[in-house]
Amino acid sequence: MLLVALWLLTAVIACYSRRDDLFSILDVPLDDRWPVQTLGVTEPFFTSLSVAAQAGLVLTTPVIAWHAWRFVRPAIAPSTRRTIGALLIAAPVMFTSGVVFGYFVILGPAIQFLLGMGPDSIQVVVRANDYYSFVATTLLAVGLAFCFPLVLLGLARVGIITSALLRRSRRVAYVLLVVLAALLPTADPVSLALEVLPLIGLYELSVIAVRVQERMLLKAALRADDELAGTAA
Protein backbone atom coordinates (compact mmCIF):
# COMPACT_ATOMS: atom_id res chain seq x y z
CA MET A 1 0.00 0.00 0.00
CA LEU A 2 2.85 2.37 0.82
CA LEU A 3 4.47 1.64 -2.54
CA VAL A 4 1.22 2.47 -4.35
CA ALA A 5 0.98 5.75 -2.45
CA LEU A 6 4.57 6.60 -3.42
CA TRP A 7 3.87 5.79 -7.07
CA LEU A 8 0.74 7.94 -6.98
CA LEU A 9 2.55 10.84 -5.32
CA THR A 10 5.36 10.65 -7.87
CA ALA A 11 2.89 10.57 -10.75
CA VAL A 12 0.95 13.55 -9.36
CA ILE A 13 4.13 15.59 -8.91
CA ALA A 14 5.26 14.72 -12.44
CA CYS A 15 1.87 15.68 -13.90
CA TYR A 16 1.80 18.92 -11.92
CA SER A 17 5.26 19.85 -13.18
CA ARG A 18 3.95 19.37 -16.73
CA ARG A 19 0.61 21.06 -16.07
CA ASP A 20 0.99 23.50 -18.98
CA ASP A 21 1.29 20.63 -21.45
CA LEU A 22 -1.53 18.78 -19.69
CA PHE A 23 -3.89 21.75 -19.90
CA SER A 24 -2.97 22.29 -23.55
CA ILE A 25 -4.07 18.72 -24.30
CA LEU A 26 -7.31 19.07 -22.36
CA ASP A 27 -8.12 22.40 -24.05
CA VAL A 28 -8.01 20.93 -27.57
CA PRO A 29 -11.77 20.07 -27.65
CA LEU A 30 -12.57 23.76 -27.07
CA ASP A 31 -11.01 24.49 -30.47
CA ASP A 32 -9.88 27.98 -29.33
CA ARG A 33 -13.49 29.16 -29.58
CA TRP A 34 -14.26 29.46 -25.88
CA PRO A 35 -11.83 30.97 -23.35
CA VAL A 36 -11.18 29.21 -20.06
CA GLN A 37 -11.19 31.52 -17.05
CA THR A 38 -10.88 31.26 -13.29
CA LEU A 39 -13.05 33.22 -10.87
CA GLY A 40 -11.01 33.13 -7.68
CA VAL A 41 -7.55 33.66 -6.29
CA THR A 42 -7.04 30.02 -5.29
CA GLU A 43 -8.87 28.43 -8.22
CA PRO A 44 -5.82 28.21 -10.56
CA PHE A 45 -3.81 26.29 -7.97
CA PHE A 46 -6.54 23.90 -6.87
CA THR A 47 -7.69 23.29 -10.44
CA SER A 48 -4.12 22.47 -11.46
CA LEU A 49 -3.71 20.19 -8.44
CA SER A 50 -7.01 18.41 -9.14
CA VAL A 51 -6.17 17.77 -12.80
CA ALA A 52 -2.66 16.57 -11.88
CA ALA A 53 -4.10 14.21 -9.24
CA GLN A 54 -6.59 12.71 -11.68
CA ALA A 55 -3.95 12.28 -14.39
CA GLY A 56 -1.59 10.75 -11.83
CA LEU A 57 -4.28 8.29 -10.77
CA VAL A 58 -4.72 7.16 -14.39
CA LEU A 59 -0.97 6.65 -14.75
CA THR A 60 -0.90 4.64 -11.51
CA THR A 61 -3.66 2.18 -12.51
CA PRO A 62 -1.19 -0.55 -13.62
CA VAL A 63 0.54 -0.41 -10.23
CA ILE A 64 -2.81 -0.48 -8.42
CA ALA A 65 -3.95 -3.49 -10.47
CA TRP A 66 -0.70 -5.35 -9.74
CA HIS A 67 -0.91 -4.80 -5.99
CA ALA A 68 -4.61 -5.69 -5.99
CA TRP A 69 -3.70 -8.98 -7.64
CA ARG A 70 -0.99 -9.69 -5.07
CA PHE A 71 -3.49 -8.97 -2.28
CA VAL A 72 -6.34 -11.20 -3.53
CA ARG A 73 -4.20 -13.97 -5.05
CA PRO A 74 -3.90 -16.11 -1.89
CA ALA A 75 -7.69 -16.17 -1.50
CA ILE A 76 -8.35 -17.34 -5.07
CA ALA A 77 -8.48 -21.01 -6.02
CA PRO A 78 -5.44 -22.13 -8.05
CA SER A 79 -7.71 -23.14 -10.95
CA THR A 80 -8.96 -19.58 -11.42
CA ARG A 81 -5.81 -17.61 -10.57
CA ARG A 82 -4.58 -17.51 -14.14
CA THR A 83 -7.86 -16.09 -15.44
CA ILE A 84 -8.28 -13.50 -12.69
CA GLY A 85 -4.64 -12.47 -13.04
CA ALA A 86 -5.09 -11.98 -16.79
CA LEU A 87 -8.21 -9.88 -16.19
CA LEU A 88 -6.40 -7.64 -13.71
CA ILE A 89 -3.54 -7.18 -16.17
CA ALA A 90 -5.99 -6.34 -18.94
CA ALA A 91 -7.97 -3.87 -16.80
CA PRO A 92 -5.47 -0.96 -17.08
CA VAL A 93 -5.20 -1.57 -20.84
CA MET A 94 -8.96 -1.47 -21.33
CA PHE A 95 -9.34 1.53 -19.02
CA THR A 96 -6.65 3.47 -20.88
CA SER A 97 -8.24 2.51 -24.21
CA GLY A 98 -11.54 3.90 -22.95
CA VAL A 99 -9.91 7.16 -21.85
CA VAL A 100 -8.22 7.54 -25.25
CA PHE A 101 -11.49 6.74 -27.05
CA GLY A 102 -13.40 9.22 -24.91
CA TYR A 103 -10.87 11.96 -25.58
CA PHE A 104 -10.58 11.54 -29.34
CA VAL A 105 -14.11 10.44 -30.23
CA ILE A 106 -16.61 11.58 -27.60
CA LEU A 107 -15.28 14.67 -25.86
CA GLY A 108 -14.87 16.98 -28.86
CA PRO A 109 -18.34 16.51 -30.41
CA ALA A 110 -19.97 16.62 -26.97
CA ILE A 111 -18.36 19.93 -26.00
CA GLN A 112 -19.01 21.46 -29.42
CA PHE A 113 -22.67 20.47 -29.14
CA LEU A 114 -23.22 21.58 -25.54
CA LEU A 115 -21.44 24.93 -25.82
CA GLY A 116 -22.89 25.67 -29.24
CA MET A 117 -26.55 25.24 -28.27
CA GLY A 118 -27.00 28.74 -26.82
CA PRO A 119 -28.10 31.79 -28.84
CA ASP A 120 -25.51 34.00 -30.49
CA SER A 121 -26.36 36.82 -28.08
CA ILE A 122 -24.85 34.87 -25.18
CA GLN A 123 -21.08 35.03 -24.80
CA VAL A 124 -19.89 31.72 -23.47
CA VAL A 125 -17.02 31.84 -20.98
CA VAL A 126 -15.96 28.45 -19.65
CA ARG A 127 -15.00 28.28 -15.99
CA ALA A 128 -11.81 26.29 -15.53
CA ASN A 129 -12.93 24.20 -12.56
CA ASP A 130 -16.23 23.23 -14.20
CA TYR A 131 -14.66 22.40 -17.56
CA TYR A 132 -11.82 20.23 -16.28
CA SER A 133 -14.12 18.44 -13.84
CA PHE A 134 -16.46 17.69 -16.75
CA VAL A 135 -13.58 16.38 -18.87
CA ALA A 136 -12.21 14.22 -16.06
CA THR A 137 -15.61 12.76 -15.18
CA THR A 138 -16.37 11.98 -18.82
CA LEU A 139 -13.05 10.27 -19.49
CA LEU A 140 -13.23 8.33 -16.22
CA ALA A 141 -16.75 7.12 -17.02
CA VAL A 142 -15.80 5.99 -20.53
CA GLY A 143 -12.67 4.31 -19.22
CA LEU A 144 -14.67 2.33 -16.68
CA ALA A 145 -17.26 1.43 -19.33
CA PHE A 146 -14.52 -0.13 -21.44
CA CYS A 147 -13.75 -2.49 -18.53
CA PHE A 148 -17.27 -3.95 -18.87
CA PRO A 149 -16.15 -7.03 -20.89
CA LEU A 150 -13.64 -7.93 -18.19
CA VAL A 151 -16.41 -7.95 -15.58
CA LEU A 152 -18.48 -10.32 -17.74
CA LEU A 153 -15.48 -12.59 -18.29
CA GLY A 154 -14.87 -12.73 -14.55
CA LEU A 155 -18.51 -13.55 -13.83
CA ALA A 156 -18.46 -16.25 -16.49
CA ARG A 157 -15.27 -17.74 -15.06
CA VAL A 158 -16.88 -18.26 -11.65
CA GLY A 159 -20.02 -19.69 -13.25
CA ILE A 160 -22.49 -16.87 -12.61
CA ILE A 161 -23.24 -16.21 -16.29
CA THR A 162 -22.77 -18.10 -19.58
CA SER A 163 -22.47 -17.11 -23.22
CA ALA A 164 -25.93 -18.60 -23.84
CA LEU A 165 -27.41 -16.34 -21.16
CA LEU A 166 -25.70 -13.31 -22.70
CA ARG A 167 -27.11 -14.17 -26.11
CA ARG A 168 -30.63 -14.65 -24.74
CA SER A 169 -30.44 -11.37 -22.83
CA ARG A 170 -29.13 -9.35 -25.78
CA ARG A 171 -32.20 -7.11 -26.16
CA VAL A 172 -32.41 -6.35 -22.45
CA ALA A 173 -28.68 -5.68 -22.39
CA TYR A 174 -28.99 -3.19 -25.26
CA VAL A 175 -31.66 -1.26 -23.39
CA LEU A 176 -29.56 -1.20 -20.23
CA LEU A 177 -26.54 -0.02 -22.23
CA VAL A 178 -28.56 2.87 -23.66
CA VAL A 179 -29.64 3.80 -20.12
CA LEU A 180 -26.03 3.56 -18.95
CA ALA A 181 -24.86 5.81 -21.77
CA ALA A 182 -27.59 8.32 -20.92
CA LEU A 183 -26.35 8.41 -17.30
CA LEU A 184 -22.82 9.29 -18.36
CA PRO A 185 -21.88 12.99 -18.03
CA THR A 186 -22.14 13.73 -21.77
CA ALA A 187 -25.81 12.83 -22.19
CA ASP A 188 -26.40 14.94 -25.32
CA PRO A 189 -27.64 13.23 -28.54
CA VAL A 190 -24.25 13.31 -30.25
CA SER A 191 -22.21 11.82 -27.42
CA LEU A 192 -25.03 9.40 -26.55
CA ALA A 193 -24.78 7.84 -30.00
CA LEU A 194 -20.98 7.79 -29.81
CA GLU A 195 -21.14 6.05 -26.41
CA VAL A 196 -23.88 3.51 -27.16
CA LEU A 197 -22.26 2.05 -30.29
CA PRO A 198 -18.94 1.08 -28.64
CA LEU A 199 -20.77 -0.25 -25.58
CA ILE A 200 -22.84 -2.52 -27.81
CA GLY A 201 -19.69 -3.55 -29.62
CA LEU A 202 -18.01 -4.34 -26.30
CA TYR A 203 -21.02 -6.42 -25.26
CA GLU A 204 -20.86 -8.48 -28.44
CA LEU A 205 -17.12 -8.86 -27.95
CA SER A 206 -17.84 -10.09 -24.42
CA VAL A 207 -20.22 -12.75 -25.75
CA ILE A 208 -17.52 -14.03 -28.09
CA ALA A 209 -14.83 -13.89 -25.42
CA VAL A 210 -16.99 -15.76 -22.90
CA ARG A 211 -17.75 -18.45 -25.50
CA VAL A 212 -14.05 -18.87 -26.28
CA GLN A 213 -13.30 -19.09 -22.56
CA GLU A 214 -15.97 -21.77 -22.12
CA ARG A 215 -14.48 -23.85 -24.93
CA MET A 216 -10.99 -23.55 -23.49
CA LEU A 217 -12.21 -24.62 -20.04
CA LEU A 218 -14.13 -27.55 -21.56
CA LYS A 219 -11.06 -28.73 -23.46
CA ALA A 220 -8.95 -28.43 -20.32
CA ALA A 221 -11.51 -30.44 -18.33
CA LEU A 222 -11.67 -33.18 -20.99
CA ARG A 223 -7.89 -33.35 -21.16
CA ALA A 224 -7.71 -33.68 -17.37
CA ASP A 225 -10.29 -36.48 -17.45
CA ASP A 226 -8.31 -38.32 -20.13
CA GLU A 227 -5.12 -38.01 -18.11
CA LEU A 228 -6.91 -39.26 -14.99
CA ALA A 229 -8.38 -42.21 -16.89
CA GLY A 230 -4.96 -43.06 -18.30
CA THR A 231 -3.41 -42.95 -14.85
CA ALA A 232 -6.14 -45.18 -13.43
CA ALA A 233 -5.65 -47.69 -16.24
The crossing angle, in degrees rounded to 10, of helices 2-17 and 19-26 is 80
Measure Cα distances from 40 to 2, 20, 133, 233 in Å: 35, 19, 16, 81
pLDDT digits (tens, 9 = 90+) for 160-195: 889 999 999 999 999 988 887 777 765 567 677 777
Structural domain for 181, as ranges: 2-232
pTM of the entire structure?
0.82
At residue 14, the pLDDT reads: 95
85-121 pLDDT, tens digit per residue, is 788 888 888 998 999 988 998 888 888 888 877 777 7
Q: Kindly report the length of the chain.
A: 233
Under DSSP, is residue 187 helix (H, G, I), strand (E, B) or coil? coil
Any bridge partners for residue 126, and if so which?
A: 36
- Is residue 230 very low, low, confident or very high in pLDDT (cuts 50, 70, 90)? low
Provide the domain count of the chain.
Answer: 1
pLDDT digits over 142-155, tens only? 888 888 888 888 88
Show Cβ contacts of residue 42 under 8 Å, excluding neighbours closer than 6 positions: none
C-alpha 2/C-alpha 17 separation (Å) is 23
**Average pLDDT of the residues in 69-77:** 79
Instruction: Determine contact, residues 142/102, Cβ cutoff 8 Å.
Output: yes
